[in-house]
């Protein structure tokens, strides 16, 4: 069986770690042999953060090769575009939360912000399916990862991983009010 490769990207502080952990565990519940790795770097400091998840018994390394991802999950528009171009294979799938955290160059006025149109153009050139998640007002913006997770679930973007697997994973990883808040949001955003 061909492995299924998921590449996640975002900005430090957006909750990519939890999203990766939930998907990894959900895939495990779904019966996959799963491997993952986070690249932290200076993650907490507003830099780019990425995670790799690879599903399949024959997968030796958790690191996905250039343009070998089947699915890119972007928590932010610039990072979504960056990851599509470096990691997603032609005709792959992008799902992203369309929020913008401006990189330094944009705020300094020396670079242009990536627009939704830029991203769609880059995807269009390579036959990539794009699922854009419209930002909504959330009580806590750090729960954007759960809105994205709900969309991934609704669209069944990870073959074989069902809602119950994701819920089991959330039950494993979260407790108390955090679990309740995240599960409620997950349900309502589906």
Partner 1 sequence: MKNMGEMLLTPTPFSEIVMGNTALVRAMIEAGTQVVTSYPGSPTPEIATAIQSIPLDERPFYFEFSTNEKVAAEVAFGASINGHLATVFFKSVGLNVAADAFIQFSLLHCIGGLVIVLGDDPGANSSQNEQDNRHYARMSYTPILEPANPTEVYDYYKEAAHLARSLGKAVMLRLTTHVCHAKERVAFAGWQSAAPIDRSPRFDPANGPYIPLVAKVYPRKREALAALEKVEQWIDERGLHRIVGNGSERGLITSGMVHLSALEVLTDAPGRPDILKLAMPYPLPKRAIAAFLASHLEVKILEELDDTLETEIKALAYDQGLTTRIVGKQELEDWVGEYTPDKVRDILHRTWPDLVPARTAIDPATLVPVPLRPAQMCPGCGHRSAFHAIKQALPKEGAITVADIGCHTLGFQEPYLLGEVLLCMGASTGIASGLALFNDTRPVVAFLGDSTFFHAGLPGIINALFNQHNLVLVVMENGTTAMTGHQDHAASGRNVNGPADAIPIRRVLEGLGVQHIFETDTYRQKELTEIMRQALALKAFSVVIARHPCMLLFTRNQRKKSGYVARHVRIDQEACARIHACVEAFACPSFARAADGSVTVNRELCIGDGSCLQTCPAGAITR
From 45-53, 148-156, 157-165, 182-190, give the range in contact with partner 1 by CB under 8 A.
45-53
Question: Which residue in the set 57, 58, 134, 136 belongs to the binding site for partner 1 (CB under 8 A)?
Answer: 58
3-state SS of 104-126 is HHHHHCCCCCCCHHHHHHHHHCC
Question: Which residue in the set 33, 91, 156, 184 belongs to the binding site for partner 1 (CB under 8 A)?
Answer: 33
Name the minimum Å distance from CB 159 to partner 1: 20
Using alpha carbons only, what angle is made at residue 93 by residues 92 and 98, rounded to the nearest 5 degrees?
140
Q: How far apart are CA 140 and CA 138, in angstroms?
A: 5
* Exposure of 30 in the CB half-sphere (CA atoms within 13 A): 23
Nearer to partner 1, 138 or 155 (CB): 138
Binding site for partner 1 (CB under 8 A): 11-13, 21, 24-25, 28, 33-42, 44-48, 58-67, 78-79, 81-82, 85, 99-109, 111-114, 118-119, 121-122, 125-126, 140-141, 172-173, 175
């Amino acid at each position: 069986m061909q492995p299924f490769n998921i590449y996640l990207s975002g900005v430090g502080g957006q909750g990519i770690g939890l999203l990766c952990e939930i998907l990894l565990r959900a895939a495990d519940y779904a019966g996959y042999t799963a491997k993952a790795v986070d690249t932290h770097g200076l993650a907490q400091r507003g830099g780019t953060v990425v995670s790799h998840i690879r599903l399949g018994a024959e997968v030796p390394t958790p690191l996905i090769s250039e343009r070998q991802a089947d699915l890119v999950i972007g928590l932010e528009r610039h990072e979504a575009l960056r990851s599509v171009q470096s990691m997603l294979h032609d005709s792959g799938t992008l799902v992203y939360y369309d929020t913008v955290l401006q990189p330094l160059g944009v705020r300094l006025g020396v670079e242009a912000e990536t627009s939704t149109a830029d991203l769609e153009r880059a995807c269009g050139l390579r036959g990539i399916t794009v699922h854009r998640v419209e930002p909504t007002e959330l009580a806590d913006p750090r729960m954007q990862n759960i809105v994205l997770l709900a969309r991934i679930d609704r669209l069944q973007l990870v073959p074989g991983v069902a809602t119950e697997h994701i819920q089991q994973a959330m039950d494993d990883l979260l407790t108390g009010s955090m679990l309740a808040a995240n599960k409620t949001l997950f349900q309502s955003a589906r």
